[in-house]
Amino acid sequence: MTDASYPREGSPTGKSRPFGAFEWLLAMRYLRARRREGFISVIAGFSFAGILLGVATLIIVMSVMNGFRTELLSKILGLNGHMFVRGVGTHVMNYDDMAGRIGEIPGVVSVMPLVEGQVMVSSPQNAGGAIVRGMRERDLKGLTTVSSSIVAGSLDGFDEGGVVIGSRLAQSLGLIVGDSITLLSPRGAITPFGTAPRVAAYEIVAVFEIGMSEYDASFVFMPLDEARNYFRTFEGVSALEIRIDNPDRVNAVAPAVRAAAGNCCDVLTWQQTNQSFFSALQVERNVMFLILTLILIVASLNIVSGLIMLVKDKGRDIAVLRTMGATRGAVMRAFFISGASIGVAGTLAGFALGTLFCLNIETLRQWLSRLSGTEIFSPEVYFLSRMPAEIDPGEVTAVVLMALFLSFAATLYPAWRAASLDPVEALRYE
C-alpha cells in the first residue's frame, strides 16, 4: 500500500489539530461568498462595519469625556483652591495666624487669603457682570494657571495697584492693557437715603487667557488691600484658599484644617462645591457607555443571523464533510472561526480608527468647522477653547475585550447548529 492510500493530515478523513489548517481553510472559504451567496456576504459586511463603528465610537466618546473631565478639573482646581475656610456669618479675622496654623498641617502646600465679591464692570463700549478676587502679588504669581497664561502686560508690581482681567472680558469690553475699567458694587457706603453703590476705576495691568471661557469672561484679580477697602471687609478677608499636594486626599486633610480653623469658620472642599457638576458628568459618562454598547450588541446579532443563514445554505456541504469523516468539533470550530474572524477584524479596525481619531481630534474639529462653516464645540457652550481627548488604556482594553467577547459569544449558537446537523437528514432529498 502506498502513502497515497492514507488520509492526508488536515483532510476531513484524517485527524486534524483543533483550529488547524483544514478548519481555517474551510472557514475562510465560507467567508468568501460566491455570487449566489451575496446576501450572506452583505450581512457579514454590515456586522464588520457595526463592530468597527461600535468600538471606535466607544473609544472616541469615552476618551473625549475623560479629557473633558480632566480639563475641567484642572482648570477649576487650577483657579480655585482645594479647600476654602470661610467665616460663619462674618469675615475671616486674624487670617495670618490662622493661615500659619493651617500651613503646618502635613499635605498642605499653600494658604492664600482672598477677598471675593460680585460687581458690575463697564467701559465706554460695553458693560457686564464679573467676579473680583483680591489677592497678594506673590499668591497670584504662585497661581500658575493664571501667571503662566498672561497674554498681555505683567504681574510685576501688582500690589501697587491695577487689576488683571480675562481675555474674553477684555474683548467684550473693548479694553487693552493700560485702559481703565470701572467697577460698580452694590455694597457701598450707607447714607441717610440708603446704601450708595461703590464705583471705582482701575487700570488694567495684565490680561490672562486660561482657555476656559467662563473664567476668561468673568474674573478680575485685584490687589488684596485694595479689595478689602473696596468691599469693606476691613481687617478681615472673605476666605482662606488652601491647596494640598493631592486633591483626591482632600477629605483626609479636611478634619485637621477644621480643627486649626476653629468653630468660627466653616471648611468646604472642592468636591462639595462642585459635587453636582461632576456627578452629572459621571452619570452622563455611564449612560453614554451603556447606550453605545448597544451598537456592539446589534452588530453581534448580525453575526448570529449571518452565520445561521450560512449554516442553512451550507447544509449539504456540511453533511458531505461529515460523511467523509469530519468531526462535529471540526465543523463547529470552522464556523466559529468564520464568525469570530468578523468580530476580531472589526474590533482591531475599530481600535485603530478610534485611537487615530482621538490623537488628531482637535485637527479634525478645526477641519470640520472650516468645511461646514459652523462652530463645532463652541467654547461658550462647552467652557473649553479646544476639544480634549484622553485615552485611558484600561477603558480601551475593556472595550476591546467586551467587543471580542460579544463576537465570540455570537458565534457559539450558529456553530453548534452546524455541528449538530444530521448528515442523513441533510442528504435525504439530494
Top-confidence residue, 250 or 10: 250
Mean pLDDT value of segment 298-323: 77
Question: Is residue 378 pLDDT above 90, yes or no?
Answer: no
Mean pLDDT value of segment 380-385: 58
Phi, psi torsion values for 264, nearest 5 degrees: -80, -10
Q: 185-217: per-residue pLDDT in tens?
A: 876 555 555 556 778 899 999 999 887 777 888
pLDDT of residue 351: 94
Question: Is residue 381 pLDDT above 60, yes or no?
Answer: no
pLDDT > 70: what percent of the chain? 85
pLDDT of residue 199: 86
Pull the grid cell for residue 69. Answer: 473631565
Question: Is residue 49 pLDDT above 50, yes or no?
Answer: yes
Question: Is residue 7 pLDDT above 60, yes or no?
Answer: no
Phi, psi torsion values for 288, nearest 5 degrees: -60, -40
Confidence of residue 75 (pLDDT cuts 50, 70, 90): confident
Q: For residue 120, what is the enclosing H or E element?
A: strand 108-122
Q: 18-38: per-residue pLDDT in tens?
A: 666 767 777 777 666 554 555
Q: 86-131: per-residue pLDDT in tens?
A: 887 778 888 888 888 998 889 888 899 999 988 999 888 888 889 9
For the ranges 15-19, 62-66, 178-182, 208-212, the lowest mean pLDDT is seen at 15-19
Q: How many CA atoms lie within 13 A of 143 on its CB side?
A: 28
Number of Cβ atoms within 10 Å of the Cβ of 262: 11
Question: Is residue 338 pLDDT above 60, yes or no?
Answer: yes
Domain boundaries, the chain: 20-72+278-427, 91-263
Q: Which SS3 state, helix, strand or coil, does residue 69 take?
A: helix
Question: Is residue 40 pLDDT above 70, yes or no?
Answer: no
Between CA 395 and CA 121 the distance in angstroms is: 45
Confidence of residue 8 (pLDDT cuts 50, 70, 90): very low
Q: 412-421: per-residue pLDDT in tens?
A: 888 888 777 7
Q: Which SS3 state, helix, strand or coil, does residue 284 take?
A: helix
**Quick check: 132 and 116 in contact, CB under 8 A?**
yes
Across the chain, mean pLDDT equals: 81
pLDDT of residue 207: 93
- Extended strands (E) in 123-169: 127-135, 150-153, 163-166
Mean pLDDT value of segment 275-292: 81
Between CA 10 and CA 344 the distance in angstroms is: 24
Q: 339-373: per-residue pLDDT in tens?
A: 888 888 889 999 999 999 988 888 888 887 788 77
Mean pLDDT value of segment 402-425: 81
pTM for this entry: 0.67
pLDDT of residue 427: 61
Top-confidence residue, 408 or 263: 408
The sign of the dihedral angle between the CA atoms of 233, 161, 217, 166 is negative
pLDDT of residue 322: 72
